[in-house]
Every structure is written in structure tokens, then in C-alpha cells.
Amino acid sequence: MFYFVIAIALFVWLLSINNRVSDIEKELARKHQPVSVPSPPPPEPSPLIQTEKEHPSAVIPPEKAFFKEDSRETRIAADWLPKIGVLALLFGIGFSLKYAFDRGWISQWARIITGFITGGLLITLGEIWKEKYIKYAPVLTGGGIALLYFCTFAAYQYYNLIPQPIAFLLMAVVTIIAISLSYRYKSIPLAVLGISGAYLSPVLLHSGIDQQVNLFIYLTVLNIASLIVLSKNFWFELLLMSFLGTVLDYGLWAANYSTAVNTSTSLFFIVLTFALFIFPPSLLLRRKVQKGEDSSRFKNELALFYIFPALFYTVSLYVLLNLNFHNILFGVGMAGSLIAYFSYVLTCRLDLKRLNYSLAFLATALLTIAFTWKYDGSTLDIITVIIGLLSVAAGTLANLRELRASGLVVLFVSLFMVLFEPYNYTCYSFIFNTKFGLMLAQTIALLLAGWMVKPFASDSSEKDTGNLLTIVASLLFWFSFSWELVAFFRGHQLENLRNLYLSLWWIFYAAILLALGIIGRNSILRKVAICLFGLSIVKVFLFDVQNLSLEYRIVSFITLGVILLSVSFVYQKKKAQINDFLEGGKTN
């Protein structure tokens, strides 16, 4: 009771000091007002001839400000000192109370009530001084909010003075106060403090009993409340803290209580949480852009932020469902992809380049991951090729560059998947096998993608992309058929035939590419053909001459000579095409 009286006296004393300071400021303002001086009588007429030149009155320089407005000294005094002071005050109160507790001077209820009164006092002072001390008042308010959180936690966890529902109710009230004051002061730190306390409440007030439904409802309500605040003030820090708090609470619960019995509830919560953190922020950002408000900061931060909900979605779903419910992974993976695609549709026509790239890549990645959870082997390879090609086609038809880019990324991922797909030698047949079929399908997909991006060649990056796809496709087919020859002529006894047919294939394929490049006026194909001719010459003169037997060596050299002479003759006869080739071609 003694400390209760002390707290009241301290509050009254601070109010009196505040009133005295206000009176002094008013008195100083009155003293600095200009004093009205009676107007002097009109001056006498000056003589026509002035015998003495008047000296101009000295100009009094303005007083130099004692403190610079934005100096380091001012920033430290106004920003850091009050924060450190509140922290020191909290520690001091804590140590003094501990000293009194250890000696039994204060009962448990008195301790909690004293803490609540002190927290309320700090919040009240922050409210009183919010206009006079703009930077000082929110610090006091934040300290009061933190003290209220701590006292509620102590009353429940340490002393068992209140039941869990009452503790949760008090935490909710404190959170509402903190969010309301942050909105009123437009203070991001205060909002982060309030929302952090709200998400830490399930951890601090944990009773050791599984309350899955109550926890998930509580977290969902908090997430919706955060989004409501974001609709008024788009504070990215608030969105990030809400997501991190949700992940923390769900992760701690899942590590202790997740079972096959409660999987359905967890699954619904994960899908709902992913939708809340992906769809509404895009909708809010779309509204800001349409209103003409500045959104440069938020769109870049959201582009990076969306990666984390997608990671949470995929990892938590896989851990939750893979062991006992693997068959439904594909469906929920597709649901996540649809959510990301719908969010992308909201912003795809707005000037939000990074955000649109992020959403397009995430949606395509989630779609690919969903099929990865259902299929494997060659089936997954061909599905990945189809996903990449369809994304490029959709981006071409809708004129959405980020969709084309995401499709190209998937195509190159599928390229590596196809290359690392092993041969099945138990039922191998030349050309008519799964490995060669996959590489042929990949080649066709790359050529089609290059053809689809061709209308956008006015953009230098898109033009380079089309050229790259043509090069990769032509080299992939050369490599895939070479691999077929190696697989068909495998074994040491067929080494001469293998090396001969490889040389013949390289030479003839280079000639075919050269002819196609001339007919189609495609300089890229012609340049690839020249490179393959060079590679064939190196192979014949350095490798075949040492490793082939005489009869195979004769065939290899004669074939190379005939092809090169034929090509040279065509180039000598068609000088116009030579000039076109040297200039790089008018069209690609």
C-alpha cells in the first residue's frame, strides 16, 4: 500500500511540474513579444545644404541559435536519451521491487497492482506530452505498454493470481491500446511493440495444454487486425512482425502437439495464413497505386517479403503431410499456386516491376513444386517442360514479361533435369527411348520459346534471350544425338565405330545448321555451325588421327574434306550471303 501511495504522489508531482513548465513558457513568450513604442514627432525639415554626412546605424546581427536544429547533439538528446532513460527506469523499478519482494514488504497482489499503475502512469504522461514533446512522449508510452505486458505475464505465470482466459483478455486489451495509440501518434515502433506483445502472449501464457483451435483463431484474428491497420497506414514493419509472430507460434505448437488427428485443422490454418499474407497486401498496394500515393518503398519490400510466406507454406505443408497424407500434397500445392496467381493478377498491369516478377516466379515455382510432390522421373521432367512452355506462351499472349521470364527459368531447370535423367539400358533401343525423347522434347520447347519471344525483339534483353534459346536448342540436339551414338556403340570393341560416327554426325550437323542459317537468314545458326565445324576439325586432326584405325581414319578425313570444300564453294559463289554473315545478318 505504501508503494501505491508513492506512485500516486509521483503522478501528482509530475503533473504539477508540467503545469509550472507551461506557465514559465507562457511568461517567456510574453517577455519576448515586441513592446509598442509611441511614434516620435515628425522630424524638422532638413536644411538644403548638409554640412555633415550622417553615418548609417550599425546592423545588429541576429542571435546565433545555441543548439543546431538537426545536430548530432540534438538527435542524441531528443531520441536516444529518453529511450535509454525509460529502459533504465524499468530496470530500476524492477530491481527495487525485487528488493522489496525478497524482504516480504509487498504482497503479490500489491506488486502486480503497482506495476499496472506505473504502466498506466507512463502511458498517461505520454498522452499529456504527445504534442509538446513529440519524440519523448511515445517513448514513455512504449515503456508503459511493455510494463503492462510484463505485469500480466507475471500475474499469470509467476504468481497464478489470474486464470489464463483473464490473462489473454488483459493482453488483448493492452494490444488494442498499443495499436490505437500507434495509429493516433503514427508511431511504427509503438505498433511493432504492441503487435509483438500480442504474438508473444501464447508463448508467455502457455499452460502446457494443447489448445490448437483457440490458438489458430487467436492468430487469425491478430493477422486480420494487422491487415486492417495496414489499410490505414501501410507499415511494412507491422506486416513483417505479424508474419514472424505467426511462424513462431505455429512452429512451437507444431513441435509439441502436431499429430495425424489434428492435421486437418493445421492444414486449413496454413492455407488461410498463406492467403492472408499474399492476397490482401497486394490488394492494399493496388489501391495505393490507383490513388496516386507514393508506394515505391512498399512495393520493393513486398517483392522480397512474399518469398517468406511461400517458404513457410511449402515447408510446413511438406512436414505436416508428407508422412501420413502425401496424396493430398499435390492439391494443396496447387491451391497455393492459385493464390499466388490471383495475387499476381491484381498487380500485373501496374507499374510494380519487382513485385510482379516476385509473384510470377512464386506462382510458377509453387505450381512446379506441386507436381514434384506427385510425380517423379521422366514424367516429372516432361511436365516441367510443359509448365515452362505454357508460362512463356501465357506471357506472350498477355504481353506480360515476368510470366515469360518465369517460364524460361522453369525451362532451364527442366533442361538440367532432362540432362541428368539416366539411360535405361535394360530395354534400350536406338533413338526410340525415354532419354532421347525427353531431350528432343526439350529442344522443341526451347525453339518454340525462342519463337514466342521473337515479337518482343525490340527490347535488347528479349532479343538476347531469343538468341540464347536458339543456341541452347541447337547445341542440345547436337549433344543428345551424340549421346545416342555413344550409348548405341558402347563397349571397347565398338570404339572405332563410335568415334567415326561421332565425327560424321558433327560434320553433317554443322553443314545442316549452316544451310538452315543461310536459307532462314539466321546469323545465330550460322555462327553455331562455324563453331561446330571448328570442333569437328579439332576432333579429326587431333583425336581421330591417333585413335581410329586406318580404314576409319580414311573415311573421317575424306568426309571432312568434302564437306569443307563444298561449304567453301557455296560461300565463294554466294558472296552476298558472305557479306550478310560478316555483318551479323540483317535478321536473326
Give me the count of residues in the chain: 588
Cell of 34: 515586441
> Is the same domain home to 277 and 216?
yes
Q: CB of 392 within 8 A of CB of 453? A: yes
Q: Which one, of 454, 475, 473, 481, lies nearest residue 465 by Cα? A: 454
In a shared domain, residues 235 and 197: no
Indicate the residue among 172, 207, 242 that finishes a domain: 207
Q: How many alpha carbons lie under 13 Å from residue 298 in its C-beta half-sphere?
A: 22
| Residue 201 near residue 176 (C-beta atoms within 8 A) | no
Smallest CA-to-CA distance from 151 within 176, 130, 170 is with 170
Structural domain of 271:
211-328
Q: Are residues 157 and 138 in the same domain?
A: yes
- For residue 346, being part of any structural domain is answered with no
Calculate mean pLDDT across residues 423-442: 87
Whether residue 469 lies inside any domain: the answer is no
Q: What is the pLDDT of residues 209-250, one digit of tens each?
A: 888 888 898 899 889 888 888 887 778 888 898 999 999 999
41 occurs within a structural domain: no
Domain boundary among 163, 179, 207: 207
The span from the CA of 308 to the CA of 152, in Å, is: 32
- Domain shared by 203 and 226, yes or no: no
Per the structure, the count of domains in the chain is: 3
Pair 260, 135 in one domain: no
pLDDT: is 34 or 565 the higher one? Answer: 565
**Same structural domain, 88 and 195:** yes
User: Is the pLDDT at 81 greater than 90, yes or no?
Assistant: no
**Rounded CA separation 149/120 (Å):** 11
Whether the model pTM is above 0.85: no
Query: Do the domain assignments include residue 191?
Result: yes
DSSP state of 326: G
Instruction: Provide the pLDDT for residue 47.
Output: 47
pLDDT tens digits for 293-343?
766 667 788 888 999 999 999 999 999 999 889 999 999 999 999 999 999
State the pLDDT at residue 80.
Answer: 60
Same domain, 312 and 180: no
Four-residue CA torsion sign, 388, 391, 397, 400: negative
Find the helix or strand (DSSP H, E) in which 302 lies.
helix 296-305
Segment 496-504 shows an average pLDDT of 80
Q: What is the pLDDT of residue 63?
A: 45
Per-residue HEC secondary structure of 346-412 comes to HHCCCCCHHHHHHHHHHHHHHHHHHHHHHCCHHHHHHHHHHHHHHHHHHHHHCCCHHHHHHHHHHHH
**Domain membership flag for residue 272:** yes
User: pLDDT tens digits for 197-212?
Assistant: 778 878 877 777 888 8
CA-closest candidate to residue 125, choices 203, 10, 270? 10
- 3-state helix, strand, coil split of the chain in percent (to 5) is 80, 0, 20
Measured CA to CA, the distance from residue 38 to residue 59 in angstroms comes to 22
Same structural domain for residues 153 and 300? no
Point out the domain boundary residue: 300, 328, 356: 328
Residue 408 counted as domain residue: no
* pLDDT per position as a tens digit, 17-63: 555 545 555 665 565 555 444 555 555 554 444 444 444 444 445 44
Same domain for 3 and 81, yes or no, is yes
Query: Are 225 and 171 within one domain?
Result: no
In a domain, 453, yes or no: no
If you search the block for the grid coordinates 565425327, which residue do you land on? 503
Residue 397 within any structural domain of the chain: no
Is residue 246 located within the same domain as residue 194? no
The residue whose grid cell reads 512436414 is 319
* Number of helices followed by number of strands (H, E) in the chain: 23, 0
Q: Name, in order, each residue with C-beta under 8 angstroms of 366's C-beta and a sequence gap of 6 or more.
A: 310, 313, 314, 333, 336, 337, 340
Task: Return the C-alpha torsion angle 161, 162, 167, 170, nearest 10.
Answer: -90
Q: Are 128 and 18 in contact (CB under 8 A)?
A: yes
Same domain, 263 and 299: yes
Taking 60 as the threshold, does the pLDDT of residue 131 lie above it?
yes
